[in-house]
């Protein structure tokens, strides 16, 4: 697909950028804490290996969090009802401009400090329909990169606009899943690099391509939609 064919979707995303963070990042402080713990574990394992006191089972347990690179990272549809409900709740709150709800389900509530901008963005969107969530595993246990496709119902337009959103989902200490919109600048470089790696894997790029094509077709079939999301006649 030529670059100009991506432009409508990119511009569409711009309209609700303040509602849906382009990508949901992992909390930097939480990551650094885990990385420090993992480093200590590795050091401990190294010492214990010299004295041959760790069994293979104990070694496997200590490195469980670092084994993600050996796991299947293929894009798959989310079958966890709690995560699906979380994304549905967040999407509805974004469409409603509901900062209070978004703060409840975000590890970084400061994202929604500018409530007026949130409400202005919500003025365009009625709801998200036909939501489907796909995931790739994060660096740590119970962390996931979520790639959500949805048909966006824009106010004043009957044609649905295919769109794609990205979230980072983590499990809290109480066992509940939440999203995390910590700014990229606050992320550890390892997490940032892993995020980029996931975004550029073939199955994710194919999903983006599919959404782009669907959006382009929708704009071709409905000039009003194209005008609303691009400002072009």
Task: Give the tens place of pLDDT for each residue, 156-173.
Answer: 899 999 999 999 999 999
Whether 25 shows a pLDDT value over 80: the answer reads no
What pLDDT digit, counting tens, does each position of 66-85 carry? 444 455 678 999 999 999 99
- In sequence order, what E strands does the chain have? 76-77, 125-137, 143-154, 161-171, 177-179
Whether 50 shows a pLDDT value over 60: the answer reads no
Please report the pLDDT score of residue 4 as a whole number. Answer: 45
**Cβ–Cβ under 8 Å, residues 166 and 94:** no
Number of neighbouring beta carbons within 10 Å of residue 109: 14
3-state secondary structure of 50: helix
Average pLDDT over residues 131-135: 98
Q: Which residue has the higher pLDDT, 34 or 119?
A: 119
Angle made by CA atoms 72, 212, 182, in degrees to the nearest 5: 60
62 bridge partner residues = none
**Cβ–Cβ under 8 Å, residues 180 and 151:** no
User: Distance from first CA to last CA of the chain, Å, rounded?
Assistant: 22
Encoding tokens for residue 84? 């699906």
Encoding tokens for residue 39? 């480093």
Please report the pLDDT score of residue 191 as a whole number. Answer: 77
Q: Is pTM beyond 0.85 here?
A: no
**Cβ–Cβ under 8 Å, residues 121 and 97:** yes
CA atoms within 13 A on the CB side of 172: 13
Q: Give residue 113's pLDDT band: very low, low, confident or very high (50, 70, 90).
A: very high
Whether 223 shows a pLDDT value over 60: the answer reads yes
How far is residue 126's CA from residue 159's CA, in Å, rounded to a whole number?
12
Average pLDDT over residues 124-148: 94
Mean confidence (pLDDT) of the chain = 77
């Amino acid at each position: 697909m030529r670059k100009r064919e991506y432009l409508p979707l990119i511009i569409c995303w711009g309209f609700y950028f303040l509602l849906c963070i382009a990508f949901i990042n992992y909390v930097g402080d939480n990551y650094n804490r885990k990385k420090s713990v993992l480093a200590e574990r590795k050091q401990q394992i190294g010492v214990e290996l010299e004295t041959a006191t760790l069994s293979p089972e104990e070694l496997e347990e200590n490195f469980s969090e670092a084994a993600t690179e050996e796991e299947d990272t293929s894009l798959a549809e989310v079958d966890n009802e709690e995560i699906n409900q979380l994304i549905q709740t967040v999407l509805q709150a974004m469409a409603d401009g509901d900062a209070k709800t978004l703060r409840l389900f975000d590890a970084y509530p400061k994202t929604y400090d500018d409530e007026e901008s949130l409400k202005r963005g919500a003025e365009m969107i009625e709801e998200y329909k036909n939501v489907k969530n796909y995931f790739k595993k994060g660096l740590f246990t119970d962390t996931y990169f979520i790639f959500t496709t949805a048909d966006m119902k824009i106010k004043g337009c009957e044609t649905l606009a295919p769109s794609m959103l990205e979230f980072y989902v983590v499990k809290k200490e109480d066992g509940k899943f939440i999203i995390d919109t910590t700014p990229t600048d606050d992320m550890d470089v390892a997490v940032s690099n892993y995020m980029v790696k996931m975004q550029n894997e073939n199955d994710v790029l194919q999903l983006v391509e599919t959404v782009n094509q669907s959006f382009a077709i929708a704009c071709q079939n409905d000039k009003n939609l194209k005008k609303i999301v691009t400002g072009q006649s």
